[in-house]
């Protein structure tokens, strides 16, 4: 399935599914609580950094059409970065 045609809700659903089905157990520990995790909703590849921006840039450099979802580790707040210039956020 091509991620280009996914809705924001589909990107969020798929990324959260990756998170719940394995990533959570790897990343939710003291050092990472409060940091941002950015997940490629198609592949499940992810990265962690303080703001989420560095990881989003790296993932977009590897795969420019990636549909990314960013959330704070240990919290229930999230933002979605769609196929848009890096200075715009698709919410």
Q: Is the pLDDT of residue 79 over 90?
A: no
Q: Where are the beta strands (DSSP E) in 19-85?
A: 36-40, 46-49, 68-72, 78-81
Residue 76 has a pLDDT of: 63
Q: Which residue has the higher pLDDT, 30 or 91?
A: 30
Distance CA 24, CA 62 (A): 23
Residue 90, pLDDT above cutoff 60: no
Alpha-carbon distance of 14 to 3, in angstroms, equals: 11
Candidates 59, 76, 60, 62; CA nearest to 24 is: 76
Q: What is the CA radius of gyration of the chain?
A: 12
Regarding pTM above 0.85, the answer is no
Question: Rounded mean pLDDT of 47-57?
Answer: 94
Place 11 in a pLDDT band, splitting at 50, 70 and 90. very high
- The whole-angstrom separation of Cα 4 and Cα 76 is 26
Q: How confident is the model at residue 4 (pLDDT cuts 50, 70, 90)?
A: low
């Amino acid at each position: 399935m091509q991620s280009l045609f996914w809705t924001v809700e589909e990107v969020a659903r798929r990324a959260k599914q990756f998170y719940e089905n394995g990533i959570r157990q790897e990343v939710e520990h003291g050092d990472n609580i409060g940091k941002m995790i950015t997940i490629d909703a198609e592949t499940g590849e992810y990265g962690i950094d303080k703001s989420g921006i560095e990881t989003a840039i790296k993932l977009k450099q590897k795969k420019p059409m990636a549909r990314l979802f960013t959330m704070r580790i240990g919290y229930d707040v999230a933002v979605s970065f769609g196929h848009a210039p890096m200075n715009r956020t698709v919410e």
